[in-house]
Structure 1
Amino acid sequence: MDPAAQRCLDSVNWTSLHHAYGEATDVPDNLRALLSPNKSDRSDAYEALYSNIFHQTTRYEATAYAVPYLLRILESPTTPAPASVINYLVDLALGIPSTFLPQGVDIIAWRQRARKINTPGYENEYNAEQDELVSQARDENQRKMREYVRRVGLERQRRDAKYELATYDAVCVGVPLFQKLLEDEDVEVRAFAAYALAWFPGEGAAGRNSSSAVALQRVLDREDEDIMVLSSAIIALGLLNGCWKDGGVVSERTDDFICRLREYRASTRPSLVRFAAAVSSVRLLHYLPEDVSVLASVLANRSFIPKSDAQKSDGLGFPFHDGDLFQYSGKALNTLDLEEYPGVMPTLLDAFPRSGRVEAFELAEVVLELAFGPRPEDKDGRPVESLNEIQRQTVTTLARLGMTHWRGSILGDILQEWNIPGGSRDECRRYIGLPVGGKGEGSDEGSDGESYEE
């Protein structure tokens, strides 16, 4: 181990810090194991670190103290699998990075929320809300549970907010290192360095990390041949520039990037690059119909982006949204008014007959949110007369899927999350006005043998 890294680790009194399971005395050994030449040992170390200082995405007192060591070993050229270190640092900083997409990190609003939690006004609101819940308890056990939540919940919120920001700020110190790693010889490291920079926009025109934009722009100039790195840099720039644009600051460099997106959306470009240009264009509110078409294509055709472009052998894969570009596309489309793009929903609905069961379930969640909006909190039902044309077409398409898709309760459960009857295929068909009973006539076979009634 590098002596400086060892000193960094030894400088912390780990017995005085706590994590999910108590004293953080096991953390130093877990961190040292990340340097093991044995991949299995490193995997065990990450499993432990995701469990103790990052248990179910919760950050603890000890979490931020681990970050300086992680940044120190990331500097070393002998550290094995450095992209995994970057990925872990971003997870520590954000919890679940995909929940910040498609907009990116608004750190100013994040700090404002953290401050609000510590105000007397918020405490009064919290107590009033919890008192209401206690008074509505259905039995003594539920009442005791809600009283417990009332007693400890606010302090837990405040503690979580404190440790989350402390960890984010600790990882933010690594921005210059992430910029440097954009020039690393390893393709995956360069891609993940770009990914890391996307989440640290800085605060205000004076304090923003404009140096990250400069570094990422240089990536665009030299990475035209490596699809993963180029695409990661495009998305990172879209997120950074989008955050600054929201704050009312649009630099000449941002305008240059918007112009540059035109060349990346060209049909001759690899589909992963076109996808990156599309989500960045949507984030910057400078999207064109071809960007919307690309996002719809990602949802309708799982092979639109070749796996070889988004996954290096034995690597972590494309960094943004954990490589799930299907879900990322759905989130980006959800920010648009699809009435302006009437071809999107028919394209997605036409994809169901050729979708396997799991693909159909995932697509159903996306199209239902596009058609109906977020899952409703109430369970009051949804009269069929209230459906607009797109909503009616969506439910009809799902009701016409064959019994292979309807076997089990998954598709029906998904429909019921949007208050659409889904207890059975017949119940859904009856709701939308289709004949019930039997398998139906004139059914076609999808590409995977799934039936779909015409």
Structure 2
Amino acid sequence: MAGTPDVTEDAGTPGPGPVWGVPLGDDDAAALDLTSLWYEDDHGTARPIWDVRVEVARLYASPGGPVMGDVPWDRLCHAYGWATDVPELLAQVRGGDDAAAKQALIHLDNKICHQGGSSVAAPFCIPFLLRSAVDAPAPRRVGLVSVAVAAGRDNPFGTLRTDVLNAVAGETALMVDNCGYPMNWTQQAARDALAADTPLLARLLADADAGTRACAAFALATASAAAGETPTALLRRQLSREAQAAVCAGLVLAIAERMSTYGSRAEGMRWAQSVWEDAGEPPGTRLAAAVGWLCLTDVPPPEQLSELVTDEVSRGTASVLLGARWLRHFDFDRSDGGVDRWLLRLLDEARTDTA
């Protein structure tokens, strides 16, 4: 059957029924009408595809919140086969041994978010990753939140401008994971999980560790519309009192993305412009706002913005952007001024664009 996972030796015993088996091709006529997708069960009966968004919502609706034992791990797959090994990895990332926890998180990330994808098991991990992050020692929090966010975002892998501040960039095309399951649904379920855990992300946004605050901002930007206006309000409040320049940069990008995704691009651009035009704002904050403006439009930038970016690059301000999680997939050397070259290339591309 199309979409059957390549089960590895340690991936566990297959569960009672498939959640995939979707006969998809590159030219599928129903690519974006995912509600029309069906699979054929073990008895040859056509059934609607199992909707991960519904199942993740059901997990959060359980009395007392998400419970590990309520997740049908034996019906889920990741990049290396069945997800029956995921509960043990989640237990290890929460354990007392820092080295073992770090290694377990690497393995988990590789399995559920392999090469920038998002497997159907990924959104079910989010509530447990975030609850572990709240209780974990500071060095672990960044990694735990980062894996949770990765499950819900499209990764541009070096794309400049209009795909950068857009967690849902791939929703104009059908994407499938290693098992043939629609990754569009998986990523939506992950963003819904982040929205459901907005209260936990609010706690992490106020964490004493700057890296954790930056990751929490990235997560709040990624949360779905189900979170309403709360993430934007939390981000703006934190920006008003944030002292760490790199975190401020991440907060600015998060606010710009949130406003443009769940308001309008014009709204996000107006807000970003109000920040980069304000000479009273810190240089790193203004630079991040300029980058946000550039990434929300495909029109050439005004001269004032071009001068701001060029001047701040020459002053070395661009290094604050390395703390913003949006740049983690971009193809530049993060040492020896790599981000400077990336920014100048971004600006050069913007200048040559036509409206």
TM over 0.5: yes
1:91–1:97 contact (8 Å) kept in structure 2: no
Counterpart of 1:320 in structure 2 is 326
Which position in structure 2 is the counterpart of 1:180? 203
Q: 1:293 aligns with which of 298, 302, 307?
A: 307
Change (3 A) 1:162 1:321: same
Match of 1:159 among 182, 196, 203: 182
Change beyond 3 A, Cα 1:235–1:264:
farther
- Distance change (3 Å), C-alpha of 1:162 and 1:216: closer
CA contact (8 A) 2:192 2:223 kept: no
- 8 Å CA contact retained: 2:246, 2:321: yes
AA paired with 2:260?
G
Aligned residues: 280
Q: Tell me the CA shift for residue 334 of structure 1.
A: 5.8
Do structure 1's residue 105 and structure 2's residue 119 form an aligned pair? no
Alignment partner, residue 247 of structure 2: 229
Unpaired segments ≥5 residues, structure 2: 1-62, 329-333
**Match for 2:122: what amino acid?**
T
Structure of greater Rg: 1
Match of 2:274 in 1: 259
| Residues 1:276 and 2:288 are matched in the alignment | yes
Q: Contact 1:105–1:201 (CA<8 Å) still a contact in 2?
A: no
Deviation at 1:105, TM superposition (A): 2.0
Q: Indicate whether 1:329 and 2:343 are aligned.
A: yes
Unaligned runs of at least 5 residues, structure 1: 118-152, 312-316, 341-454
CA shift for structure 1 position 74:
2.7
SS in 2 for 1:180: helix
For the 8 Å contact 2:265–2:296, the answer to whether it is kept is no
Report the CA distance shift for 1:96/1:40 in structure 2 as closer, same or farther (over 3 A). farther
Higher relative contact order (CA 8 A, sep 6+): 2
CA contact (8 A) 1:35 1:80 kept: no
Residue 213 of structure 1 corresponds to 232
Q: Secondary structure at the match of 2:317?
A: coil
C-alpha contact 1:37 1:80 (8 A) present in aligned 2 = no
- The one-letter code matched in structure 1 to 2:201 is F
Map 1:106-185 → 2, pairs under 5 A: 107=168, 110-111=170-171, 113-114=173-174, 159-185=182-208
| In the alignment, structure 1 residue 81 sits paired with structure 2 residue 140 | yes
Distance 1:6 1:172 in 2: 14
Residues 129-176 of structure 1 deviation map (CA, whole Å, 9 limit, x = unaligned): xxxxxxxxxxxxxxxxxxxxxxxx999665344434333433343334
The separation in 2 between residues aligned to 1:37 and 1:5, in whole angstroms, is: 25
Q: Which 10-residue stretch deviates more, 233-242 or 281-290? A: 281-290
Please give the alpha-carbon distance, in whole angstroms, between the structure 2 residues aligned to 1:262 and 1:196: 27
1:323-379 C-alpha deviation (Å, 9 max, x unpaired): 673475257426623489xxxxxxxxxxxxxxxxxxxxxxxxxxxxxxxxxxxxxxx
Q: How does 1:374-413 map to 2 (within 5 A)?
A: none
> What is the deviation of 1:180?
3.4
Alpha-carbon distance in 2 for matches of 1:278, 1:284 = 10
Shift of 1:191: 1.7
Displacement of 1:13 in angstroms is: 3.5
What TM-score, normalized to structure 2? 0.64
1:389 alignment partner in structure 2: none
The Cα RMSD (Å) is 3.9
* Structure 1 position 195 matched with structure 2 position 218: yes
Indicate the percent of aligned positions where both proteins have the same amino acid.
Answer: 21
